[in-house]
Amino acid sequence: MALKNDLILRTINGEKTERTPVWLMRQAGRILPEYRAVRNSLSGFKELVETPELAAEVTIQPVDILGVDAAIIFSDILVIPEAMGLKYEMVEKRGPHFPETVKSLSDVKRLKVAEASDVQYTIDAISVTKKELDGRVPVIGFAGAPWTIFAYMIEGGGSKTFSKARRMLYSEPQLSHELLQMITNSTINYLQGQVEAGANLIQIFDSWAGILSPELYKEFSLRYIQQICDAVDKVPKTVFAKDAYFAREWFGKINCNTVGLDWCMDIRESRKLIGENKTLQGNFDPCVLYSSEERIKEEAEKMLVQFGPTRHIANLGHGVYPDTDPHKVKFFIDTIKGYKH
């Protein structure tokens, strides 16, 4: 199926495009009343993730309402540990919680390497989304980076320090590598399933990259991201590692096409470190969207000038915050789409 809007894919290829493409992390979600209407009709977040037709509906909402240049499938990075045998709950206003965690080698042995069919609901959601979109925009598939998934499986939920997970890397390095490899193999199977279902590109989210030292990151995260990028070879790959300033040069050398930047990363310095052959994505501070339209326009145009006319996908430096006014989000997107380099 030919894409009617392939701006993002052409940008990733380094082509000069008529304008900078734009989409937002967490664009399908709580900022939209239309999303909340669907979500409130269900028992909870997980039911929405696990119902392909509804997941597809909320995936497409930002394309219709906000005018973004891509649809990212509505799912969660924690479907992978669940598919491996470690169930999670999504607790309202608190976030993810694992009733059981991985504490020992025997816990690891009880897990399995997941197949794509273990997360069939997301695979089916991509198929439904592709059919409904009919080529209007590309579909982005995604997964969490193995280190970030590992951190949740050890810690049992979100944490300011992830001290249990980091402690495990020091005290049980062999166990850590065994679990990380299982997560990596599961993620490869899952992403390959997403691509077969029609995902046009994929993104790897390393949300907790920044809590590791450069040395630990290289050993316990980067090598596994590299494996995923090498194995999922049919579509472009984006890596977004929040707060991993030290890893930018390394990302320039691995087999990914695009590197996501958070809002604290200097654009010109990042370009120098990552190199001219990768596309950069980001890196608007989500908090600017709370300010006036004049300030949003000023900051958005400043960002576009710094990134330049090629090899840039406009996005936020993190997911859009849930209490952001959707009209301000739409204004930001329209500003990007209306800007001429």
Residues that constitute the known binding site: 26-30, 76, 152, 207, 318
Could you say which of 10, 19, 30, 36 is catalytic?
Answer: 30
How far is residue 25's CA from residue 319's CA, in Å, rounded to a whole number? Answer: 4
Beta-carbon neighbour count of residue 294 at 10 Å? 8
Q: Are 43 and 112 in contact (CB under 8 A)?
A: no
Phi, psi for residue 134 in degrees, rounded to 5: 55, 40
Could you say which of 35, 88, 118, 152 is catalytic?
Answer: 152
Residue 295 a catalytic site member:
no
Contacts of 88 (CB under 8 A, 6+ apart): 78, 81, 82, 96, 97, 98, 152
- Degrees (nearest 5) of the Cα angle 114, 116, 118? 60
Q: Are 66 and 27 in contact (CB under 8 A)?
A: yes
Beta bridge partners of 203: 142, 238
Residue 26 a catalytic site member:
yes
Residues that constitute the known binding site for substrate: 26-30, 76, 152, 207, 318
Residue 167 a catalytic site member:
no
Could you say which of 10, 19, 39, 136 is catalytic?
Answer: 39
State whether residue 312 is helix, strand or coil: strand
DSSP codes joined into one string, 22-76: B--TT-SSTT-HHHHHHHHTSS-HHHHHT-HHHHHHHHHHHHHHT--S-EE----
**Residue tagged 């590598």 (tokens):** 177
Residue 152 a catalytic site member:
yes
- Point out the residues that are catalytic: 26, 30, 39, 76, 152
